[in-house]
Structure 1
Amino acid sequence: MPTRPLGRTGVNVSLVGLGGYHMAVPKDEQESIRLVRFALDHGINFLDNCWDYHDGKSEERMGKALQEGYRQKAFLMTKLDGRTRASAEAQLEQSLRRLRTDVIDLVQMHEIIRMSDPEQIYGPGGAMEALVAAKKAGKIRFIGFTGHKDPDIHLAMLQMAERQGIPLDTVQMPLNVMDPHYRSFEKKVLPVLTERGIGVLGMKPFASGEIMKTGAVTATDCLHYPMSLPTSVVITGCDTMGVLKQALKAAYTFQPLSSERVSAILARTAELGATGKHEQFKTSERFDGTTKNPHWLTTAEV
Structure 2
Amino acid sequence: MSGSEMPYRTLGKTGERVSAIGLGGWHLAIKSVDKKTAIQIVHAAVDRGINFLDNSWDYNDGESEERMGKALKEGYRDKVFLMTKIDGRSEKEAARQIDESLKRLKTDRIDLLQHHEILRFDDPHRIFDPEGAQVAFEKAKQAGKVRYIGFTGHKDPQIHLHMLDVAKQQGFHFDAVQMPLNVMDAHYRSFGRDVLPRLVEEGIGVLAMKTMGNGIILRSGAVTAIECLHYALNLPTSVVITGIDSMEILDQAFEAARTFRPLTGEQLEALMAKTAQAGSRGEFELFKTSSIFDATAVNPDWLGEEPERLTSLMPATG
So what's the TM-score if we normalise by structure 1? 0.98
Q: Contact 2:33 / 2:245 at 8 angstroms: preserved in 1?
A: no
Please give the root-mean-square deviation of Cα atoms over the aligned residues, in Å: 0.8
- What's the counterpart of residue 228 of structure 2? 222
Which stretches in structure 1 are left out of the alignment for 5+ residues?
Answer: none
- Secondary structure (helix, strand or coil) at the match of 2:213 reads coil
- What's the counterpart of residue 18 of structure 1? 23
What residue identity is the alignment partner of 1:136?
Q
Listed as ranges, the matches of 1:206-245 within 5 Å are: 206-245=212-251
User: Which of 128, 133, 142 is matched with 1:122 structurally?
Assistant: 128
CA distance in 1, matches of 2:60, 2:223: 30
Q: Does 1:269 align with 2:275?
A: yes
- Secondary structure (helix, strand or coil) at the match of 1:49 reads coil
Q: Does 1:194 align with 2:200?
A: yes
User: Which of 79, 82, 90 is matched with 1:84 structurally?
Assistant: 90
Q: Percent identity?
A: 59
> What is the Cα deviation at residue 27 of structure 1?
4.1
> What is the Cα deviation at residue 68 of structure 1?
2.3
CA distance in 2, matches of 1:194, 1:264: 25
- What's the counterpart of residue 203 of structure 1? 209
How big is each residue's C-alpha offset from its partner over 1:212-241, in whole Å with a ceiling of 9 and x where there is no partner? 111111211100001000000000001111
What residue identity is the alignment partner of 2:301?
H
CA distance in 2, matches of 1:69, 1:56: 21
> What is the Cα deviation at residue 122 of structure 1?
0.3
CA distance in 1, matches of 2:226, 2:101: 33
> What is the Cα deviation at residue 203 of structure 1?
0.4
What residue identity is the alignment partner of 1:33?
I
- Secondary structure (helix, strand or coil) at the match of 1:65 reads helix
- What's the counterpart of residue 181 of structure 2? 175
Listed as ranges, the matches of 1:59-208 within 5 Å are: 59-208=65-214
So what's the TM-score if we normalise by structure 2? 0.93
CA distance in 2, matches of 1:143, 1:88: 13
- What's the counterpart of residue 298 of structure 2? 292
- What's the counterpart of residue 284 of structure 2? 278
What residue identity is the alignment partner of 2:164?
L
Moved over 6 A (4+): none
- Secondary structure (helix, strand or coil) at the match of 1:208 reads helix
Q: Does 1:8 align with 2:13?
A: yes
Q: Does 1:252 align with 2:258?
A: yes
What residue identity is the alignment partner of 2:297?
T
Q: Contact 2:55 / 2:84 at 8 angstroms: preserved in 1?
A: yes
Which stretches in structure 2 are left out of the alignment for 5+ residues?
Answer: 1-5, 306-318
User: What number of residue pairs does the alignment pair up?
Assistant: 299
Q: Contact 2:13 / 2:204 at 8 angstroms: preserved in 1?
A: yes
CA distance in 2, matches of 1:160, 1:70: 37
CA distance in 2, matches of 1:100, 1:45: 17
What residue identity is the alignment partner of 1:115?
F
